């Protein structure tokens, strides 16, 4: 039985196999990764998020090579903002970067705008799922659970941005739904480096109550080892 040597426990509990494991790449969109996007409007230096790019690209390559199912998530609101709760509208206005306001990459956090696109180096290919969500958690109001269930997926390797917000929200929802989760620390990033560190640390406490964490190198080694189960 092959497993990834993760912290604080090996992943997945019942052995790695191609058919039961998916890679989930969270919100690698221009709005978060380019200086002209939403995070830039909020005053964040994009480098904290961009730090996830090389790791996420390597992980995506390894997952594709190993034949894992791949899911990309993408955050964005309807153009008329009818799915935007009042408190989120207020908060982003209060912070000076209101959802829906115009910017160099189009309207902030709105579907179909340039800023909403996944960055080209991680662009989804045929056979991969793209999950459009307006919430932080990728299970909320989406068909992610259905897509995974139809395929018999039970284990998720998760990377993307931000470690502290959408990556963690998605892992927490998945964990309660019965998916064993692995956060890949050097394929995640955040506009706030201390928040990234905090979110990685939270994967290690209480015996891994939310799952476990490993590095890109750990995951690649396991995915490319001979004898990966079907």
- Give the residue numbers annotated as catalytic, written as ranges: 27, 133, 166
Question: What is the rounded CA–CA span in Å between residue 37 and residue 76?
Answer: 13
Contact 228, 18 (CB under 8 A): yes
229 binds a copy of itself (CB under 8 A): no
Q: Is the dihedral of CA 57, 59, 62, 63 positive or negative?
A: negative
| Shortest CB 216 distance to a copy of itself, Å | 22
137 binds a copy of itself (CB under 8 A): yes
Residue closer to a copy of itself by CB (options 74, 168) is 168
Question: What is the rounded CA–CA span in Å between residue 165 and residue 133?
Answer: 14
Site for a copy of itself in 53-92 (CB under 8 A): 78, 80, 82-87, 90-92
Site for a copy of itself in 165-184 (CB under 8 A): 165, 168-169, 172-173, 175-180
136 binds a copy of itself (CB under 8 A): yes
Residue tagged 């929200």 (tokens): 169
| Shortest CB 226 distance to a copy of itself, Å | 25
Q: What are the residues binding a copy of itself (CB under 8 A)?
A: 9, 12-14, 42, 44, 78, 80, 82-87, 90-92, 94-95, 97, 126-127, 129, 134-137, 140-143, 145-147, 149-151, 154, 162, 164-165, 168-169, 172-173, 175-180, 190-192, 194-195, 197-199, 201-202, 205-210
């Amino acid at each position: 039985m092959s497993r990834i040597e993760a912290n604080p426990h090996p992943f997945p509990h019942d052995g790695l196999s191609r058919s039961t494991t998916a890679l989930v790449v969270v919100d690698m969109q221009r709005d978060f990764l380019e200086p002209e996007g939403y995070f830039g409007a909020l005053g964040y230096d994009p480098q904290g998020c961009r730090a996830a790019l090389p790791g996420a690209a390597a992980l995506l390559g390894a997952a594709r090579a190993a034949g894992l199912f791949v899911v990309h998530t993408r955050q964005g609101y309807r153009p008329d903002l009818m799915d935007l709760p009042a408190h989120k509208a207020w908060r982003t206005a209060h912070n000076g970067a209101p959802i829906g306001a115009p910017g160099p990459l189009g309207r902030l956090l709105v579907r179909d705008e340039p800023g909403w696109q996944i960055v080209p180096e991680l662009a989804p290919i045929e056979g991969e799922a793209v999950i459009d969500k307006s919430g932080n958690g990728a299970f909320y109001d989406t068909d992610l659970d259905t897509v995974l269930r139809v395929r018999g997926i039970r284990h998720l390797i998760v990377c993307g941005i931000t470690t502290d917000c959408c990556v963690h929200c998605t892992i927490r929802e998945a964990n309660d739904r019965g998916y064993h989760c692995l956060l890949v620390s050097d394929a995640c990033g955040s506009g706030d480096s201390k928040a990234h560190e905090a979110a990685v640390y939270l994967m290690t406490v209480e015996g891994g109550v939310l799952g476990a964490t490993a590095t890109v190198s750990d995951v690649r080694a396991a995915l490319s080892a001979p004898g990966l189960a079907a």
